[in-house]
Amino acid sequence: MIKYMSVENLRIKLDVALANQGELAILDVREAGQYAAGHLFFATHVPYSRLEFDIEAFVPRRITSIVVYDDADGVSEKAAAALQHTGYVDISILEGGAPSWAANGHTLYEGVNLPSKTFGELVEIELGTPRVSADQLVRMQKDGDNFIILDGRTPEEYGRFNIPGGISCPNAELPLRFDDLVPSSETTVVINCAGRTRSIIGAQTLINFGVSNKVVALENGTQGWSLADLELEYGANRIPSMNVAQKDCQVAQARAKNVAERYDVSLIDWETVAKWQIDETRTLFLMDLRSRDEYMRGHLPGSVHAPGGQLVQATDRWIGVRGARIVVYDDIGVQATCTAHWLKQMGWDVYVLSQETRTLVSKDVHGSKLNSEVPRIGAEHFLELVLNETAYILDLRSSKDFESEHIIGANWCVRPLLDQISIPSDREVVLVADDPVAVALVAGDLTHRSIEPVYVFDGGMVAWHEAGGDLVEGELNSSHPERIDFAAFTAERHSGNKSHMRQYLEWEINLVNQLDEQERGVFNVMKM
């Protein structure tokens, strides 16, 4: 049964979940642009355009209490019905959506990964994490100081751009690879990311693990470097080997054991995890923190890949249920302990899986299946329909791609806007897309409206190019001109526009000042 929930009751229910005394999933079902423009602090973004496909990863148990919200525009009702159809049984709609939350005096936050980024700022404030500016780092270089730069982002992010001379080492791997990468105890270690959070968390991680070196965060990361009119490096491949010497592992494990004791990180065995996996009263997220390659070669049944350091940086990308259990693991225990000691301070009920012999699987499917088989149409047939003006073209690609180029006569659309489109009964609907999820869900909605036939253009825009079809540039169609799928807030900070960089960094710094008592209360930064 679908219910409605007031803002006041949501606050009460959230209090229980934040105390790990119950479970709650708050789902923002709007599109990326709407979400980034302003959302609830503890909301997880699961847009209606992908809802049925993504929901199982974020909310694995069908009986979990779920609250969905929108812009008070009817999307929540559609989302709730879709969730109910998928098998979820405890669904509520936030009365009045996001506007009602704001009208009741609560903040709607810009940006993404709010709890994680706010936590990073709190760590710097509470622990006084040391830092250097870009200008100071340049002076250190000119003076011939003994230092090393370690980039705490993923290797993929590092490969796109980095601080010149920096070495890739994702945050959770820093304690593991420290003694291999850092030449001496006299070497100053500089940790950077693209902005602030992972620079702060990475530097404080090494400090918490008790290394003897001086460790500092690069203030504002690569964006601070660019704002100082300094050039970034592109396409670097200084990525350490996955192999770590036994002696370095032993040192790292000893430090991790000390951290686990100081921060009261609990160690559990596989038997306990197996029991939790079949526990119908509590949600479990089992997270593999190793590299993608290691995960694909073999992982624990039911586990999900969350590469080193990213679970702290963007917890809401993987975990959608407040009050759930989280179990983390790796092959050595260092990455897991590193991640767990941070997640605990972020208010999560988290455990580290012990280093015992385990049975691994190479395949483990997560997420809902796409059951819809949409008939395909080739370029020749599609061109014929276009020339005869008997095709109604729905372009389901991103609004950015649509504005760059699209087929003449095409209408841009994203699933929440589908009801606004009136399709003539004498037209054959052709979907142009690069995402099979969008195709399956939109085609299903059209079928539900008894609109047929519906085809998907086989090969998409690549095939259209090859067929020599006409293309145009232009804005979105007048019926829905808003780019609700585009999160300019996050996308434009790496565009080279310094104004966007400053805006983003100011946003990060000011997050803590916006917290109310409930939001602040979930965090417990521990001073040791």
pLDDT of residue 488: 74
Cβ atoms < 10 Å from Cβ of 316? 18
Closest CA to 286 of 268, 271, 302: 302
pLDDT of residue 140: 98
Residue ranges, comma separated, of all CATH 3.40.250.10 domains in the chain are: 2-112, 118-241, 258-353, 376-472
pLDDT of residue 373: 84
Closest CA to 186 of 145, 158, 246: 145
pLDDT of residue 283: 98
pLDDT of residue 342: 98
The DSSP secondary structure of 403-456, one letter per residue, reads: HH-EETT-EE--GGGGGG----TT-EEEEE-S-HHHHHHHHHHHHHTT---EEE
The angle formed by the CA atoms of residues 291, 297 and 300, to the nearest 5 degrees, is 85
pLDDT of residue 308: 73
**Residue 467, Ramachandran bin (φ over 0: left; ψ between -120 and 50: alpha; else beta):** alpha
Alpha-helical regions (H) of 326-387? 334-345, 379-387
pLDDT of residue 307: 86
Report the chain (528 residues): mean pLDDT per 10 consecutive residues. 94 96 97 96 98 97 98 97 97 98 97 97 98 98 97 96 97 96 97 97 98 98 97 95 91 97 96 95 96 91 90 97 97 96 98 83 61 86 90 94 91 93 93 95 94 94 88 68 78 78 95 97 94
CATH fold of 2-112: Oxidized Rhodanese; domain 1 (3.40.250)
CATH code of 118-241, in short, is 3.40.250.10
| pTM, full prediction | 0.94
CATH code of 258-353, in short, is 3.40.250.10
Q: Dihedral, CA atoms, 466, 471, 476, 478, nearest 10 degrees?
A: -130
Q: Which CATH architecture has domain 376-472?
A: 3-Layer(aba) Sandwich (3.40)
The DSSP secondary structure of 269-307, one letter per residue, reads: -HHHHHHHHT-TTS-EEEEE-S-HHHHHH-B-TT-EE--
In single-letter form, the type of residue at position 264 comes to D
Strand pairing report for 471-472 and 406-407: antiparallel
Residue whose entry in the numeric block shows the structure tokens 């080193």: 308
- Tell me phi and psi for residue 411, to 5 degrees: -110, 125
Check whether the bond before 453 is cis (ω within 30° of 0): yes
- Tell me phi and psi for residue 395, to 5 degrees: -95, 110
The tokens for 100 are: 């009602």
Strand pairing report for 411-412 and 391-395: parallel
